[in-house]
Homo-oligomer: A and B are copies of this chain.
Amino acid sequence: MTQTVTVALDAMGGDHAPAMVVQGAAIAMRRLPQTEFLLFGDKTKLEPLVARHKKLAARFHIQHTDERVADDAKPSLALRAGRNSSMRLAIDAVGEGKADCVVSAGNTGALMAMARFSLKMIPGIDRPAMASLVPTLRGESVMLDLGANIECDAENLVQFALMGEMFARTVLGQSHPSVGLLNVGSEEMKGHDAVRAASARLRAPGSPINFFGFVEGDDIAAGTVDVVVTDGWTGNVALKTAEGTARLVLDFVRSSFRHSLTARVGYLFGGSALTKLRKRVDPRQYNGAVFLGLNGIAVKSHGGADALGFANAIGVAVDMRKNGFLDLIRDGLQRLKNLAPAPAAAS
Contact = CB atoms under 8 A, between A and B. Distances in A.
Interface of A: 135-137, 147, 150-151, 182, 184, 191-192, 216-222, 230, 232-234, 236-253, 256-257, 259-260, 262-263, 265-274, 276-277, 280-281
Contact of A234 (B191, B216, B233, B281): B233
A246 B244 contact: no
Given A184-B147, A248-B136, A270 B272 contact: no
Contacts of A265: 266, 269-270
Contacts of A232: 184
Contacts of A239: 217
Contact of A237 (B137, B151, B217): B217
B150 A251 contact: no
Given A182-B237, A237-B184, A247 B269 contact: no
Chain A at the B interface: SS class: helix
A247 to B, nearest CB: 7
A252 B280 contact: yes
A129 to B, nearest CB: 14
Contacts of A135: 248
A150 B238 contact: no
A140 to B, nearest CB: 12
B237 A281 contact: no
Given A218-B244, A263-B273, 15 more contacts: A151-B192, A216-B236, A217-B238, A220-B241, A220-B245, A221-B248, A222-B244, A246-B248, A246-B249, A259-B273, A262-B269, A263-B270, A263-B272, A266-B269, A266-B270
Contacts of A280: 252, 256
A61 B236 CA distance: 49
A221 B251 CA distance: 11
A167 to B, nearest CB: 20
B240 A217 contact: yes
Contact of A150 (B191, B222, B269): B191
A147 B150 CA distance: 19
Given A184-B233, A241-B245, A277 B262 contact: no
A281 to B, nearest CB: 6
A252 to B, nearest CB: 5
Given A150-B192, A276-B256, A277-B252, A243 B218 contact: yes
Nearest to A280: B252
Contacts of A216: 236-237, 240
B247 A221 contact: yes
21 contacts: A191-B233, A216-B236, A216-B237, A220-B241, A222-B247, A234-B237, A238-B238, A238-B241, A241-B242, A241-B245, A242-B244, A245-B245, A245-B246, A245-B249, A249-B281, A252-B281, A256-B277, A263-B269, A265-B266, A269-B269, A270-B270
A244 B246 CA distance: 10
A218 B241 contact: yes
A273 B192 CA distance: 42
A278 to B, nearest CB: 9
A138 to B, nearest CB: 10
